[in-house]
Amino acid sequence: MSPALAASFFAAREDPSLVVLEGFHALKHALRFGAVVEAAVTSDPDELAELSAALAPDVAAALETLVQPVEPAALRALGFPRPPHTGVAAIARRPPFDLGGLLAGNVARPIVLLEDPRHLGNVGAVVRVAAAADAAGVVTTGARDPWDSAALRGAAGLHYALPVGRADDGFDPAPRPLVALDPDGDPLPAAAIPPGAVLAFGTERHGLSDALLARADARLRIPMRDGVSSLNLATAVAAVLFSR
C-alpha cells in the first residue's frame, strides 16, 4: 500500500468534506445512491467479488474499478483498530446539505427531526430506517454531527440515500407541520400524521424540549403496554414512519 493512500485515509478523518466508510455494505449503498468515492481498499478481493455478485450486481463494475487490494494488516495501518469484518474501507465526498431545499421539496414525504440526539449509533439506525421508509430527510439539532463515523456505521452507508444534516436548535420547519412525539400526546393512528410533516423525536431519557413542544402543531404518542417507559429511538422512528 502506498504511503499516499494511507495518508489519504488519515486526512479524510479530519476533513469535513470527506467521510470514511467502513465495510462492504456502506460502500455498496454509497455507490448505489450516487456518492463520489475517492478511494477504496479491500483486504480480501475474493470475498469482495463474491459479495458484489450476490448482493450488489448493480455496482459490481464500479467496485471492481475502484477498490484496491491491500494486505490485511494494512487496514490497521489506515487507522482501524478493529477493521471492518468484510475487509472493505473507502473515502467518499460528503454531499452538501440544503435545509431550505429539503423543507421546500417533496411535501408529501415526512422529515425526521432528532432533537439533540445523544447516541450516534442510534442516529445512524434512524437514517437507515428513514431511508427504508422513503422519508424526505433526517435533520438533527445539537452539537453532535449526524455524519460522525459512529452514525455512518449505524446507517451502513445510507446517508447517501436521503439528505442528512444538522440545523440550529431553534430551526423553523415551516411551511411543514411540526408533529411532536410525546408520551402525553394523543394516541397515534396513521391518519393523525399530516402529509409532509416534520416528525420530532427527543432523547429516550428526557424527551423533547419544552420549547419545541410549545411550537408543535400536534402531539402524538406511540401506544405501549403499561410499565414500558420508552422505545429505542430508531424503533420509535420506525413505528411512526411505517404507520403512515
3-state secondary structure at position 185 = strand
Q: Which residue has the cell 436548535?
A: 169
Choose among 36, 61, 44, 28: nearest CA to 157. Answer: 28
pTM of the model: 0.93
Question: In sequence order, which residues have a C-beta less than 8 Å from that of residue 101 and are 6 or more positions away?
Answer: 163
Task: Identify the pLDDT of residue 84.
Answer: 87
Q: Do the bridges between strand 18-22 and strand 88-93 make them parallel or antiparallel, or are there none, so unpaired?
A: antiparallel
Q: How confident is the model at residue 226 (pLDDT cuts 50, 70, 90)?
A: confident
Q: How confident is the model at residue 135 (pLDDT cuts 50, 70, 90)?
A: very high
Distance between CA atoms of residues 111 and 56, nearest Å? 28
Task: Identify the pLDDT of residue 114.
Answer: 97
Question: In sequence order, which residues have a C-beta less than 8 Å from that of residue 208 and are 6 or more positions away?
Answer: 115, 180, 181, 182, 200, 201, 202
Is the pLDDT reported for residue 161 higher than 70?
Answer: yes
pLDDT tens-digit series, residues 8-19: 999 999 999 999
Domains (range + CATH), the chain = 3-93 (3.30.1330.30), 99-241 (3.40.1280.10)
pLDDT tens-digit series, residues 105-128: 888 999 999 999 999 999 999 999
Furthest-apart CA pair in the chain: how many Å? 59
